[in-house]
Amino acid sequence: MKVPIIVIDTNVILSALKSRNGRSNQLLRIIDTGKFDFAISVPLILEYESVLKKHLDRSYYLEKDIDDFIDYLCYIGKKIKLFYLWRPYLKDPHDDHILEVEIHSNSKVIVTYNKKDFKEAEDLGICSLTPAEFINKINGGEK
């Protein structure tokens, strides 16, 4: 059975590391179980790193912890090289690099808490799901 490939928006990664109780954290806990693959690119990883280092509680997450986490994502993620830039396409140009990973990885799902930011991607057959919606989907539920 072919597993879905997803792109995880930075807000989901940040939320997962801020709270162990949410669906975003649950998503990260199953990230290497084979239920899905996730695509990454250099710009996306750099954004993850920048946002995590800026917004995480540094008394709890040391620089090395964040670096190790980013290294882990790089190790298990599906690396995508971007050759054609789809910019500008989305309403928020800061989200276009996420769409580029989506297109080049042949993924059809962006996991995000900001679904409205990816409304235009629907024209390309790409849907935006929250972590809860995606987890429900891979566990056999409806969207």
What band does 121 get if pLDDT is binned at 50, 70 and 90?
confident
The whole-chain average pLDDT of the chain stands at: 90
Report yes or no on whether pTM surpasses 0.85: yes
Model confidence over 6-57: pLDDT tens digits? Answer: 999 999 999 999 999 999 999 999 999 999 999 999 999 999 999 999 999 9
CATH architecture for residues 5-138: 3-Layer(aba) Sandwich (3.40)
What is the tens place of the pLDDT at every residue in 53-75?
999 998 899 999 999 999 999 99
Other C-beta atoms closer than 10 Å to the C-beta of 39 total: 21
Which residues partner with 129 through β-bridges?
111
Domain boundaries, the chain: 5-138
